[in-house]
């Protein structure tokens, strides 16, 4: 009933917020004007579309940039259609791309409507999210994993590592070689290094990881001696005697 009212009042308000995007708005206008999607009068629909945008006081570029983009596309198609041609549309109808897009979007919207109903029906079926105690409760830890989980796990682990004092700083890259030199220099000055402390002092996550691998390299090259006294406890690093002597 409300829709009949819309037809009667030419100055009805279209709120951009109710549309999922420019295609949604276009489809609405096409249906309102009872236009055949396959043969869109571009001039008419462009005017309607621009009216909708103009009625809005302020365009929120964050959310509504795509609406402007579509306006530009419509104007472009309109100008293409106006170009004098030897034959009507010798190559391709300039509307072709937009029409295909609209047809596919229309199908998706229809599928959404059906799925929405199914979701509604399904919401009445309650399944359990966990097993009550007793029984053979399995590991609660278990989860089905995807590639996304794998990558996310790794990067959040890296970030969690040694607190939140890591910042993702771009543009500063550190090489393992330089880090190794830095560690050796520090060891020459202070003779012993608390590695976890040094690790968490690193400015960026990348630096921290690089410093960790630099230490591994140093250990591998038998230049330093690293001892972790107990699990979870700090790693103490010493310069090996022969290396220390060489340095002097």
Partner 1 sequence: MTPGLKEIIESLVFISLEPLTLEKLKEALADFPAAEVEEALTDLVRSYSDGSRGIQVIQTGGGYIFSTRPECDPWVRRLLKIDRKSKLSGAAMETLSIIAYHQPITSSEIQALRGVDSSYTLKTLLEKRMIRIVGRKNSPGRPLIYRTTDRFLAHFGLNSLEDLPTEEEIARILGEEKTSEPEP
Q: Tell which positions 92-111 bind partner 1, by CB under 8 A.
A: 101, 104-111
Q: Tell which positions 140-159 bind partner 1, by CB under 8 A.
A: 141-155, 157-158
Q: Which of 11, 39, 127, 230 binds partner 1 (CB under 8 A)?
A: 127
| Interface characters, 50-69, with partner 1 (x: CB under 8 A) | ------------x---x---
Which CB atom, from 186 or from 225, has the smaller least distance to partner 1?
A: 225
> How long, in residues, is the chain?
248
| Cβ(201)–Cβ(193) below 8 Å | no
- The CA-based angle 17-18-22, given to 5 degrees, is 75
Segment near partner 1 (CB under 8 A), from 3-11, 41-49, 178-186, 237-245?
3-11
- Report the chain's C-alpha Rg in angstroms: 32
| Cβ(204)–Cβ(164) below 8 Å | no
Tokens of 7: 């037809």
What whole-number distance in Å separates Cα of residue 180 and Cα of residue 213? Answer: 9
Q: Which of 20, 177, 190, 242 binds partner 1 (CB under 8 A)?
A: 20
Q: Does 72 bind partner 1 (CB under 8 A)?
A: no
Q: Which of 7, 57, 91, 92 binds partner 1 (CB under 8 A)?
A: 7
What whole-number distance in Å separates Cα of residue 41 and Cα of residue 38? Answer: 10
Q: Which of 10, 90, 138, 163 binds partner 1 (CB under 8 A)?
A: 138
What whole-number distance in Å separates Cα of residue 212 and Cα of residue 224? Answer: 13
Which CB atom, from 182 or from 217, has the smaller least distance to partner 1?
A: 217
Q: Tell which positions 159-198 bind partner 1, by CB under 8 A.
A: 161, 168
Strand, coil or helix: 91: coil
Segment near partner 1 (CB under 8 A), from 38-46, 75-83, 121-129, 176-184?
121-129
**Residue 85: how many CA atoms within 13 Å on its side-chain side?**
13
Which CB atom, from 83 or from 143, has the smaller least distance to partner 1?
A: 143
Q: Which of 38, 54, 119, 169 binds partner 1 (CB under 8 A)?
A: 119
CB of 183 to partner 1, least distance (A): 15
Q: Does 3 bind partner 1 (CB under 8 A)?
A: yes
Q: Tell which positions 25-54 bind partner 1, by CB under 8 A.
A: 28, 31-32
Q: Does 230 bind partner 1 (CB under 8 A)?
A: no
What whole-number distance in Å separates Cα of residue 84 and Cα of residue 26? Answer: 27
Which of 83, 20, 73 minimizes the C-alpha distance to 49? Answer: 73
| Cβ(198)–Cβ(184) below 8 Å | no
């Amino acid at each position: 009933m409300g829709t009949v009212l819309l037809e009667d009042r030419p100055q009805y308000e279209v709120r951009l917020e109710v549309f999922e995007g420019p295609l949604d708005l276009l489809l609405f206008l096409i249906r309102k004007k009872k236009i055949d999607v396959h043969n869109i009068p571009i001039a008419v629909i462009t005017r309607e579309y621009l009216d909708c945008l103009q009625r809005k006081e302020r365009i929120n570029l964050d959310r509504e940039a795509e609406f402007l983009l579509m306006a530009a596309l419509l104007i472009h198609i309109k100008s293409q259609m106006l170009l004098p041609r030897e034959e009507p549309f010798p190559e391709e109808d300039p509307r072709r791309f937009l029409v295909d897009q609209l047809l596919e979007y229309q199908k998706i919207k229809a599928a959404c409507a059906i799925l929405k109903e199914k979701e509604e029906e399904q919401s009445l079926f309650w399944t359990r999210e966990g097993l009550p105690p007793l029984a053979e409760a399995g590991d609660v830890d278990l989860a089905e994993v995807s590639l996304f989980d794998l990558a996310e796990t790794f990067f959040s682990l890296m970030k969690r590592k040694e607190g939140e004092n890591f910042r993702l700083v771009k543009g500063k890259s550190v090489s393992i070689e330089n880090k190794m030199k830095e560690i050796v220099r520090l060891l020459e000055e202070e003779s012993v290094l608390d590695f976890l402390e040094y690790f968490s002092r690193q400015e960026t996550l990348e630096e921290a990881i690089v410093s960790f691998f630099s230490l591994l390299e140093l250990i591998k090259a038998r230049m330093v001696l690293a001892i972790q006294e107990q699990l979870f406890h700090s790693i103490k690093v010493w310069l090996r005697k022969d290396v220390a002597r060489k340095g002097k």
